[in-house]
Amino acid sequence: MSSETDFIVIGSGVAGLRASIGMAEKGARVTVLTKDKASESNTEYAQGGVAVVLAEDDNPELHEDDTLIAGAGLCDVEAVETLVTEGTRCIKELIEWGAEFDSDGGKLIFTQEAAHSRRRIIHANGDSTGAELVRSLIAKAGTERSINIVPFAYTEGLIVENGRCTGVKFLDPILRAPREIRAKGVIMCTGGAGQLFLHTTNPAVATGDGMAMAYFAGADMADMEFIQFHPTALSLKNAPRFLLSEAMRGEGGILRNKFGERFMPRYDERAELAPRDIVARSIVAEMRRTGTRHVLLDMTALDGAFLKHRFPKIYETCKFYDLDIASDPLPVSPASHYCMGGIRTDLHGRSTVPGLYAAGEVTCTGVHGANRLASNSLLEGLVFGARAGEAAVDDSRFVKIDSGGADESPRGIAETSNAEIATAVRKRIKRVMWERVGILRDRDSLRRAIREFDQIADAKLSTSSRNFVTLAQLVARAALWREESRGGHYRTDFPEQRDEFKVHSIQRMNADISSAATISFQAKSVV
C-alpha cells in the first residue's frame, strides 16, 4: 500500500522537528516517521546545554575560534561560520516559541564547558536541556496542522527512482505491515550510531539506520572514523552508562584516580577542561596505569544545594544507585557518545542523492571537524534542520510526486527473522567495535575487526542487522585508511597529525575510500 505527502522527515529529534516546522510554515504537508515515541531521540538525552552567542562578553568570532580549535584542523570554516551566526537567531526564535532556559532575574544563566573560552552554554531545568527543546518543538509542531507525526514506524529503506529519492518503505505501526510513502523529498534526521559500541551514553534507538539507508541509496558518507567518546559516563556494574554532563567539570568537578590523586594536569595544561578526546584518552591511560576500570569524578568541593539544583536529573539518577554527588566521588569511564561523520551534505542539507536531505548528527557538514566542541550539537540540529527544510521546499517547486514505478533501491539479500541470531550479531559487533575500533586504534586491530565484519556481512541478515554491520565496516575502514591521530580518531601506531591527512574521508558504495578538501559540494539538480 502506498500513500503520498509533500515531504517525509525520518526522525523526531531537534533537527527533524525544526525541519518539519519550517516546511509546514511554507505550506507543505509533512509526515514525520519515528521508530519510537516522538520524544525519544538523542536530543531528549542532551544534558549539557546549547552553546550560543548571547552573553555580553561573547561574539561569533570567539565561538568560531573555539569550534575550529576543537575540530583539530578539519572543520570547514564556512560551515562553522553558518553555525555560530545563524545559531543566535535560531535560539531567540525557539524562546519566542516557548522554550524556557534557566535564568536569574530575567537574565539567562550561562555556564562554561571544556574548550570554550567563554561562559556561553545555556541550559534548561539544570541538566535537561534536550528534553526542553523537544518539548517546545513538539508543542510548536502541534500548532501546524499540516505536520503528521507517526510514532513507532520503523523505516526499512529509501526508494530511489531515476537517480532521485522519491519516498521510503516502512512498517505500519498499527498493522505491522510493509508500506510505502511517496514525496517530493526525504529529510533524514535519524541521529547518530552510539549503539555500535559496547559502552555508550546513547539511547537504544541510536543505531545509525539512517546513515546505512542513505549509504545503500548511493549517498556519500564522510569522516566516519571520527567518533567522540564522552569521558565521563557513570561506570557501575549492571547499570547503564548514564552520561555525567561535561558541565559538571565546567562547574569545577575534578578527576581523580583510585588513590585520590588529581591526574589531568599531567596530561594537558587545560586539565579537566581540555577537549573531550584528550580527557577520554587521559582517563584510559590513567586506568591502565593504575589497573582500574574507572576513575573518579569528584564534585564534593561544591555546595550540595547548588549541585542538586544545577544537576537535578544527574542527582536523582546517582541517588538511585546510592551515590550522593555532593559527598561521594563518582566512578566514571569513557563511552561512545557522538558521531562527527555521517551523510555528506552541503550547507543546505542536500546529500549527493537528489531528493535526499539530512540534518543533525546523522550528517557530516564539516562543522565539527575531527572533534565536536561541547554543546554545539543541539545548535547544529536547529540551524541545519531549518536550512534543510527550507532547501527541500525551494528545490521542489517543480517536482511532482512519483506515485510509483521501477524501484531502483538497493535490495538486501534474503532476510532471516530469527531474533536470537540478530541479537547475537549485534552483541558481537558492539564488542568488536569497543575492543578494536574504540578510543585507541592500530592497524592490526582494525584489520582483524574488518575481517570479522566482512564475514558477518556475508550471512543472511535482517535489515537492521545489515545496517548495523555496514556501519561498523564504514567506521573501521575509514579508521584504517586514516594513518594519523586527529581529534576523536587516535592511532597508537600513528600518534601524530600528518598534513597529508588534513582532508575528509569519503565513502560510497562499490568504490574505494577517497578524500575531499571540504565536505560541501555542488549539489545535483533534484528535478
Residues designated catalytic:
276
In angstroms and rounded to an integer, the radius of gyration of the C-alpha atoms of the chain is 22
Please give the grid coordinates belonging to residue 59: 561574539
The label of the residue with cell 517543480 reads 398
Centre a 10 Å sphere on the Cβ of residue 239 and count the other Cβ atoms it contains.
12
CA distances (Å), origin 358, targets 70, 264, 342, 381: 24, 38, 10, 10
Please give the grid coordinates belonging to residue 137: 518543538
Give the CA dihedral 311, 314, 315, 316, nearest 10 degrees: 130
| C-alpha distance across the termini of the chain, in Å | 25
Helix H segments across 26-143?
60-70, 77-96, 129-142
Going by C-alpha positions, the residue among 436, 430, 429 that lies closest to residue 480 is 436
**CA-to-CA distance for 382 and 133, rounded, in angstroms?**
10
**CA-to-CA distance for 186 and 194, rounded, in angstroms?**
23
The one-letter amino acid code at 58 reads: D
Partnered with residue 178 across adjacent β-strands are: 171
16 burial level (CB within 10 Å; 0-12, 13-18, 19+) = buried
Residue 481's SS3 state is helix
Number of H helices, E strands in the chain: 14, 22
Q: At what angle do helices 77-96 and 60-70 cross, to 10 degrees?
A: 130
